[in-house]
């Protein structure tokens, strides 16, 4: 087991998933910075909705 690799993994995952959001209306995936989404600067490409939720909260199995 490599401890260093294990420690770095969660951070890498966080970076990846913090930038992926899911449109609550049409379920389209949008890549954007968390801050820009919070400021309401990011819209869904398909339906122009600003209702986005972070993909990170979707944890199954």
Nearer to Zn ion, 28 or 34 (CB): 28
Residues that bind Zn ion (CB under 5 A): 23, 25-26, 28, 44, 46-47, 49
Closest distance to Zn ion from the beta carbon of 25 (Å): 5
Distances in whole angstroms, Cα of residue 55 to Cα of each of 4, 19, 22, 61: 26, 8, 6, 15
Q: How far is CA 22 from CA 8, 15, 33, 46, 51, in A?
A: 25, 16, 13, 12, 9
CB of 59 to Zn ion, least distance (A): 22
Q: How far is the CB of 14 from Zn ion (least distance, A)?
A: 24
């Amino acid at each position: 087991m490599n401890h260093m690799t294990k420690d770095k993994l969660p951070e890498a995952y966080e970076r990846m998933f913090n930038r992926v959001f899911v449109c609550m209306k049409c379920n389209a995936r949008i890549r954007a910075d968390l801050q820009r989404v919070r400021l309401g600067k990011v819209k869904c490409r398909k339906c122009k909705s600003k209702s986005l939720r972070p993909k990170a909260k979707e944890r199954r199995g």
